[in-house]
């Protein structure tokens, strides 16, 4: 597979960092001060496990090369070859095993963030330390540098101490506090995990531990009193580890088993994973924060305890005469400190399991459900919280009630939205019907009529009507209902129908007839202002009656003026009201503007009214020019629209212009 250039540079950088860090940490161990008989205190043991998990193969190779460089500055020998191999395995095995065995968290990619992942990390760390040091001891025995039992126990105990407390703490700090992202074999996680594929890994792990145990068994059985004739004695005679032939074969088998475990391929399956690969979040969770604090505290206590015990044993309890005495004392200190640390880790695991069951998992369930609720809405499944602590129980109960209320509220909102949608559709249909009631613009041999109407809501209470009664007479009407919206539209429809049914009557009788009928069924006390006029083109006259409506504007004698008259009561208040009929003579330049109060009372964004003065002035400018009649109404409406720009429409706007040809 071709490696992309940026990947190569990244892994090269990891290799150089790992080499430099390991070499610097390992240099002090080359001095005589850090030597314990055939073993030595290696501060570098804190680094291989974090290096392997964080940097992958590059980190493992860096640890091996770093060990060789430090040996060049101190005790370089043939054993350094096995030192390089052991430190490579020390870093490679955690990376190798983390992504294959012990499928906690359904084997989704997670690091130390829970009780189970913490236990997995500790087990892998202890196993990697044990087998890598066993490879070192077996290699040294093969080249006759040391006996297996002379180097294995001290190096394993020492490295386990530094790796278990220092290495774990270092990894947690780098991933949770500094938030470094580990190297991950992403291609591995794109396939479905099948646990049984890694049965050979478990067999090799067990075989390596069994071989190490058998090697140490002979060593310890030789110190047992009265061992003659015991099973230990018989086993030793059968294996005879001290004989060169069988001892070398046993060492070769041990090294081969560990190397075979290291080189086995990391295979899952050929089936693509159903879950999309997601890198673990670098944002620390509650459990991971507890784990970080615990291991920092444990690491500090362990190193302090080691120093105190070493000082007490060396200064007070023992008389040290040889290096061997110091070796055994330090080995005992390591044993007790490691034992205490492991007990504390078991206690941490127990506490974390309780916290997860009663605190963190319920909170995680709530968090995951919130995310599902955002993505899926009502289709999200409400989680079951089980037994939790008192505070979490109250939180869970409140959350369940809140969720139920939200679901019910959303259901109500959806139902309300459907009802509003139906009402909106009905209003739109009503608006179309209302517009169809109104007559279309008129162009005949005698008259020309232009009209405009815009309700403030979907439907409105303004209406107009005009109809040519014969060749020379035209009925015009404009009205404004006292309200807006659907009630005004219904009242308007009734009044409009009454006008159409009364159009053969005179202007004042039309008003009287409409008024009497409206008063019969007007429980809501609504009223309507109305102007009715009948224009006779042949006689050049107009008869009109006004029931409380705005005074029209007429063009007569070359100027614009109000068509004033004695006001009469609006329609709908009282029955049997008599309305005054007026008549005027029309000039040759006659033009009539009818409008509702939505025109002259239109409000600007500053709350100012359009006003009668602005209206009459506009009519003077329109009529005084050479603008064609068809454009007069458009000029008026555009003027009102510009004046009210940015302000909501407060009332229905209706206007008519009529001209005798």
* Residues 452, 420 share a domain: no
pLDDT at 268: 73
pLDDT at 179: 84
Instruction: Classify residue 319: in a domain, yes or no.
Output: no
* Residues 115, 61 share a domain: yes
* Residues 134, 283 share a domain: yes
- Helix, strand or coil, per DSSP, at residue 63: helix
* Residues 272, 216 share a domain: yes
> How does pLDDT run across 619-651, given as a tens digit for each residue?
888 876 678 888 999 999 999 999 999 898 888
Average pLDDT over residues 365-384: 64
Length of the chain: 661
- Helix, strand or coil, per DSSP, at residue 284: coil
Residue where one domain finishes, among candidates 290, 311, 346: 290
Query: pLDDT-based confidence at 327, cuts 50/70/90?
Result: low
Least confident of 71-75, 377-381, 489-493: 377-381
Residues 6+ apart with CB under 8 A from 70: 22, 23, 26, 27, 29, 30, 44
Average pLDDT over residues 54-82: 87
* Contact call for residues 118 and 298 (beta carbons, < 8 A): no
> Is the pLDDT score of 196 beyond 60?
yes
* Residues 516, 576 share a domain: yes
pTM value > 0.75? no
Least confident of 15-24, 348-357, 593-602: 348-357
* Contact call for residues 233 and 227 (beta carbons, < 8 A): yes
* Residues 654, 581 share a domain: yes
* Residues 72, 106 share a domain: yes
* Residues 595, 632 share a domain: yes
Query: pLDDT-based confidence at 224, cuts 50/70/90?
Result: very low
* Residues 499, 405 share a domain: no
* Residues 450, 422 share a domain: no
* Contact call for residues 543 and 550 (beta carbons, < 8 A): no
> Is the pLDDT score of 389 beyond 60?
no
pLDDT at 624: 64
* Residues 603, 460 share a domain: yes
pLDDT at 32: 46
Instruction: Classify residue 418: in a domain, yes or no.
Output: yes
pLDDT at 227: 44
- Select, from the ranges 9-13, 51-55, 340-344, the one with the highest average predicted confidence (pLDDT): 51-55
Name residue, tokens 């006004």: 546
65, 99, 116, 311, 439 from 31: Cα distances, Å = 19, 37, 39, 20, 110
Q: Which domain holds residue 424?
A: 389-437
Query: pLDDT-based confidence at 374, cuts 50/70/90?
Result: low
* Residues 248, 396 share a domain: no
Residue where one domain finishes, among candidates 290, 325, 359: 290
Tell which wins on pLDDT, 291 or 75: 291
Question: Which domain CATH number covers 526?
Answer: 3.60.40.10
Any idea what the Cα angle at residue 109 is, between residues 107 and 111, rounded to 5°?
105
* Contact call for residues 56 and 17 (beta carbons, < 8 A): no
Domain count, the chain: 3
- Helix, strand or coil, per DSSP, at residue 263: helix
pLDDT at 33: 42
- Which tokens belong to 158? 């020492």
Average pLDDT over residues 368-397: 63
Instruction: Classify residue 366: in a domain, yes or no.
Output: no
CA–CA dist 432, 493 (Å, integer) = 13
Residues 6+ apart with CB under 8 A from 657: 449, 450, 591, 592, 593, 594, 629, 632, 633
Tell which wins on pLDDT, 621 or 73: 621
Query: pLDDT-based confidence at 3, cuts 50/70/90?
Result: very low
């Amino acid at each position: 597979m071709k490696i992309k250039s940026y990947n190569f540079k990244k892994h090269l950088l990891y290799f150089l960092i790992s080499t430099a860090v390991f070499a610097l940490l390992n240099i002090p161990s080359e001095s005589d001060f850090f030597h314990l008989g055939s073993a030595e205190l290696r501060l570098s043991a804190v680094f291989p496990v974090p290096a392997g998990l964080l940097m992958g193969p590059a980190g493992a190779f860096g640890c091996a090369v770093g060990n060789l460089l430090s040996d060049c500055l101190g005790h370089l020998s043939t054993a350094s070859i096995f030192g390089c191999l052991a430190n490579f395995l020390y870093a490679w095995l955690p990376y190798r095993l983390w992504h294959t065995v012990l499928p906690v968290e359904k084997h989704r990619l997670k690091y130390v963030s829970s009780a189970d992942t913490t236990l997995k990390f500790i087990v892998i760390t202890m196993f990697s330390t044990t087998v890598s040091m066993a490879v070192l001891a077996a290699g040294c025995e093969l080249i006759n540098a040391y006996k297996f039992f002379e180097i294995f126990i001290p190096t394993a105990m020492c490295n386990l101490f530094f790796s278990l407390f220092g290495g774990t703490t270092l990894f947690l700090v780098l991933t949770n506090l500094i938030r470094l992202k580990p190297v991950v074999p992403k291609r591995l996680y794109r396939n479905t995990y099948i646990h049984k594929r890694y049965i050979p890994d478990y067999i090799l792990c067990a075989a390596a531990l069994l071989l190490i145990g058998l090697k140490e068994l002979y060593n310890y059985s030789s110190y047992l009193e009265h061992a003659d004739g015991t099973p230990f004695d018989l086993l030793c005679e059968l294996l005879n580890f001290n004989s060169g032939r069988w001892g070398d074969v046993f060492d070769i088998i041990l090294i081969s088993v560990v190397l075979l475990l290291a080189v086995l391929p990391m295979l899952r399956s050929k089936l693509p994973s159903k879950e999309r690969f997601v890198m673990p979040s670098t944002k620390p969770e509650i459990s991971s924060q507890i784990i970080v604090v615990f291991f920092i505290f444990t690491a500090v206590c362990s190193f302090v305890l080691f120093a105190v015990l070493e000082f007490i044993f060396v200064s007070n309890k023992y008389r040290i005469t040889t290096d061997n005495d110091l070796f055994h004392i330090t080995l005992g200190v390591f044993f007790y400190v490691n034992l205490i640390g492991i007990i504390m880790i078991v206690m941490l695991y127990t506490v974390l399991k309780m916290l997860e069951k009663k605190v963190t998992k319920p909170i995680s369930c709530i968090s995951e459900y919130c995310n599902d609720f955002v993505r899926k809405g009502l289709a999200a499944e409400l989680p079951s919280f089980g037994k939790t602590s008192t505070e979490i129980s109250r939180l869970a109960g409140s959350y369940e009630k809140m969720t139920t209320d939200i679901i019910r509220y959303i259901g109500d909102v959806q139902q309300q939205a459907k009802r509003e949608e139906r009402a909106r559709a009905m209003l739109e249909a009503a608006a179309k019907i209302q517009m169809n009631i109104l007559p279309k613009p008129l162009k005949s041999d005698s008259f020309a009529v232009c009209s405009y109407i815009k309700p403030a809501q979907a439907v409105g209470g303004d209406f107009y009507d005009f109809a040519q009664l014969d060749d020379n007479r035209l009925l015009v009407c404009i009205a404004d209902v006292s309200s807006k919206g659907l009630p005004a539209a219904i009242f308007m429809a009734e009044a409009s129908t009454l006008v159409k049914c009364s159009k053969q009557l005179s202007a004042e009788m039309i008003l009287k007839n409409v008024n009497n009928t409206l008063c019969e069924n007007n429980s809501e006390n609504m009223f309507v202002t109305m102007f009715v006029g009948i224009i006779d083109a042949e006689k050049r006259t107009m008869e009109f009656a006004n029931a409380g409506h705005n005074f029209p504007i007429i063009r007569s004698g070359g100027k614009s003026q109000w068509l004033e008259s004695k006001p009469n009561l609006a329609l709908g208040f009282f029955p049997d009201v008599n309305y005054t009929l007026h008549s005027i003579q029309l000039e040759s330049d006659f033009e009539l503007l009818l409008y509702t109060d939505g025109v002259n009372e239109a409000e600007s964004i500053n709350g100012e009214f359009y006003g009668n003065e602005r209206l009459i002035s506009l009519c003077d400018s329109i009529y005084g020019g050479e603008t064609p009649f068809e454009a007069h109404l458009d000029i008026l409406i555009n003027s009102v629209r510009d004046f009210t720009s940015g302000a909501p429409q407060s009332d229905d706007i209706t206007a008519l212009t009529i001209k005798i040809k």
